[in-house]
A and B are shown apart, each in its own frame.
Chain A
Amino acid sequence: MDFQLDSEQEALRDAVRGLLSKAYDTSETRREVTKQDPGWGDKTWQQLAEMGVLGLPFAEEDGGMGAGPAEVSIVAEEIGRVIAPEPFVEAVVLAGGLVAAAGTPEQRAEILGALAEGGLVPAFAHTEPASRYELAATGVTASSADGGWTLTGVKEPVLGGARADLLIVSAAVDGGTGLFLVKPDADGLTRTGYATFDGGRAAHVGFDNTPATPLGEPGADQSDVIAATVARAQIAYGHESLGAMETALRTTTEYLKTRKQFGVPLMTFQALTFRAADMYVSLELARSTVTWATLVLLDASSGSTSADEVIEAASRAKLQVSKAGRHIGQEAIQLHGGIGMTAEYSVGHYMSRLTAIDHALGDGRHHLNRLVATLDDHTVVDPLP
């Protein structure tokens, strides 16, 4: 058992940190970038591509770097540290991950190669207005005729859906949920984009007999692929949140040290410092669970943990992060006072981003519900496989 990074992993972390801290040197730089569509920086995206980050988890024969969950977690954490708006988890881990898991060799090489080079940004169109966090698609249905497939229905909110160069769409098929590729210029496709509260972008995406290409085997139920890939993205989001929570806490403690009221630094007041101590406790507990979930995922590649164990670990991480993110985000603003409420200052944006992640791919209550369903499976929770 070992929670430490090796030297190559540390080098990756330092490189990504260097790139992103330059790109987002201040909260104001991020604000400028998120004001313009698509809400993230093309230059930064290209730099990430050049560094190999966008192809990190994909096989080398598909144009990727062949790295594992630990490396993905390192990048996600650095994204979170500066709340970089580039859609690493959404486009690479989630949408790219689906292609890697379900695509034919040709689809993988074409899509993942272009994604890794920075030339193609995919989005996963899954959430439906009435689906909450269900993994099955019901509101968009797929039909086949004359050897082709079409989709009909609505997906919303689709993160990055308006800007995406390729949509990976979940749709109801006979016996389950299939995955389909839809090109931006497909007939009957409408995309209406808008900004989200965290500076991101989402879209209403309508399909009206829209031609689509099955991802992988035509008509197959891809529920297992969706569940496994969503679990990977949940764990990566956990790391993105850890980075964000760490910065929110550090920003808060710096403020308590420097801000003076009544002629003394705020850290003179125990009512404030004790609350900062509790934020640290929340952060460390979340870090432990999220890192463990990555280790469970790491072991899945060698077959020593099962797909279900990964899914459960992802729920455990997401629940812990949901609670920690709310606690740390709320307290970061409160301990700052009025300045924390302003768009000009950073901590409010951190809380916004933590809130967005909380409600993507299942919030704490959703995951607690899933864990309730497993209560009878064990006498105690043993973290070791």
Chain B
Amino acid sequence: MKLQLSDEDAAFREEMHTFFTTQIPQDVRDTVAARRELSKEQIVASVQAMNAAGIAVPNWPVEWGGKDWTPLQRHIWHEEMQLANVPPPLPFNASMVGPVIAAFGSQEIKERFLPKTANLDIWWSQGFSEPDAGSDLASLRTTAVRDGDDYLVNGQKTWTTLGQYGDWIFTLVRTDPSVKKQAGISFLLIDMSSPGVTVRPIELIDGGHEVNEVWFENVRVPAENLVGEENKGWDYAKFLLGNERVGVAPVGSTKRTLSQAKEFAKTAGPGGTSLLDDPLVAAQVADLENEILALELTALRVVANSADGKPHPASSVLKLRGTELQQAVTELFVDLAGPLALASGAGDGSDVPDLARVATPNYLNFRKASIYGGSNEVQRQIIAGTILGLRG
């Protein structure tokens, strides 16, 4: 047992800290620090700065731009990025479709897509969920019917995050309706500029436009856009969703947001006094710091001891607890803002600090965190069934 990072890992941490605090456009980091929404251009600029340094897709195979890093180094990369107010690489590209293409795609499909996917020259959207297929994803109904050299795709996807920016969408489609539901699904790449694709915004409770519905009406998709084998899409999706849970505990960003909240509290009391002098507030902040520490240490335990490639049993805790704490900190920010939390629509000429204006929209927005990526109830089901052996 030992606490210290090896000299090599400590140097790596320093290198990442320096990179993220000096090589990412300042306006991107300022926008994240202000808890404001990033533009498409800002997200692209951030990813391309990382990709130029060869660290945008470290989890990919080395021949396609990945890094031969240890799980601990990957964790450090992810943490230092978040602590420096740098947005993680677009997950649809870096964590989802990229690894699937690299693992299951043909050489032709890899060459065609992977370099542009790493560099965010193609913006990918995710086409998995449907109105009647949420946590029960395998019940999806969008169909792809073979027609000569093409598939004809019909159906509707939903919750497509940032789909308004999407160039391409990776989809799960039903190619064989006659078999068990998991066995008739394929993984198909669709150009979103194809005739018959319609993207419609879904307005969320924070007033923002983050997710979309995507409709497919007789969309003609070349069969060469199929990844891997027909009707094997469910296997690829399970592979992808396994990746999705890694790094889904946003430790660094939650730590950073809490430290921002603590700083904000110092002048948020009546007459500019410190709210940290309120013992209830101080206790809540100190308790959250301790809970986040426990989460971070659990993440470190998982990565420090998963070198043999097997997931550590405690990893299931990360998504569940990570999102709970992420939500708790957004809630704290609203409480600290107090009556100023109502001023979400304030613009020029307002005396309300910006962090107070964004507090409630962020709080409302992050209710999503315990729902996506396998809802927290699904996580409890996994813990109860897989770890504790409690099978109903």
Contacts and interface: CB of A to CB of B under 8 A. Distances in A.
Q: Choose among B83, B389, B390 the residue with the greatest number of A CB atoms under 10 Å from its CB.
A: B390
A380 B83 CA distance: 10
Interface of B: 1-6, 9, 72, 83, 255-256, 258-259, 262-263, 276, 279, 282-283, 285-287, 289-298, 300-301, 304-305, 314, 317, 320-321, 377, 379-381, 383-385, 387-392
Interface in A360-380: 368-369, 371-372, 374-376, 379-380
A280 B289 CA distance: 21
Interface of A: 1-6, 9, 70, 249, 253, 256-257, 267-270, 273-274, 276-278, 280-281, 284-289, 291-292, 294-296, 298-299, 304-305, 316, 319-320, 368-369, 371-372, 374-376, 379-381, 383-385
A70 B1 CA distance: 8
A277 B383 contact: yes
Given A1-B300, A289-B294, A383-B296, A278 B380 contact: yes
B192 to A, nearest CB: 39
Given A1-B304, A268-B392, A381 B293 contact: yes
Nearest to A376: B276
B136 to A, nearest CB: 16
Given A1-B304, A257-B389, A384-B4, A273 B384 contact: yes
B317 A280 contact: yes
Contacts of A70: 1
Contact of A2 (B2, B83, B258): B2
Nearest to A5: B1
Given A320-B290, A375-B286, A289 B380 contact: no
Contacts of A292: 3, 293, 297
A286 B298 CA distance: 9
B391 to A, nearest CB: 7
B283 A281 contact: no
Given A267-B392, A385-B4, A372 B317 contact: no
Given A304-B4, A384-B5, A285 B286 contact: no
A371 B286 contact: yes
Nearest to A379: B259
A28 B387 CA distance: 29
16 contacts: A1-B3, A4-B1, A257-B390, A280-B388, A292-B3, A292-B293, A319-B290, A368-B283, A372-B282, A372-B286, A374-B286, A375-B282, A375-B285, A380-B255, A381-B292, A384-B5
A286 B384 CA distance: 18
A285 B321 contact: yes
Nearest to A3: B301
Central interface residue in A1, A285, A296, A379, by most chain B CB within 10 Å: A1
Contacts of B256: 380
A288 B289 contact: no
B1 A277 contact: no
A291 B301 contact: yes
Contact of A286 (B294, B300, B383): B294
A289 B289 CA distance: 12
Given A267-B390, A267-B391, A277-B388, A295 B83 contact: no
A173 to B, nearest CB: 33
A232 to B, nearest CB: 16
B390 A273 contact: yes
Nearest to B299: A288
B385 to A, nearest CB: 8
Contacts of B387: 280
A335 to B, nearest CB: 11
A274 B384 contact: yes
A288 B83 CA distance: 21
B300 A285 contact: no
Contacts of B292: 381
B151 to A, nearest CB: 39
Nearest to A274: B380
A298 B1 CA distance: 9
A371 B388 contact: no
Contacts of A257: 389-390
Given A253-B388, A320-B291, 5 more contacts: A1-B6, A267-B392, A286-B294, A319-B287, A319-B290
A56 B306 CA distance: 31
B91 to A, nearest CB: 24
Given A3-B301, A288-B298, A281 B321 contact: yes
B1 A3 contact: yes
Contacts of B380: 273-274, 277-278
B219 to A, nearest CB: 40
Contacts of A371: 286-287, 289-290
Contacts of B286: 368, 371-372, 374-375
Nearest to B83: A380
B297 A289 contact: yes
Contact of B1 (A249, A295, A319, A385): A295
Given A299-B3, A320-B290, A277 B321 contact: no
A4 B392 CA distance: 33
Nearest to B303: A1
Contact of A368 (B287, B305, B381, B390): B287
B279 A372 contact: yes
A292 B295 CA distance: 12
Nearest to A253: B388
Contacts of A299: 2-4
Nearest to B313: A284
Given A276-B384, A375-B286, A1 B9 contact: yes
Contacts of B258: 380
A285 B294 contact: yes
A257 B388 CA distance: 10
Contacts of A2: 1-2, 304-305
Contacts of B392: 267-270, 273
A320 B294 contact: yes
Contacts of A376: 276
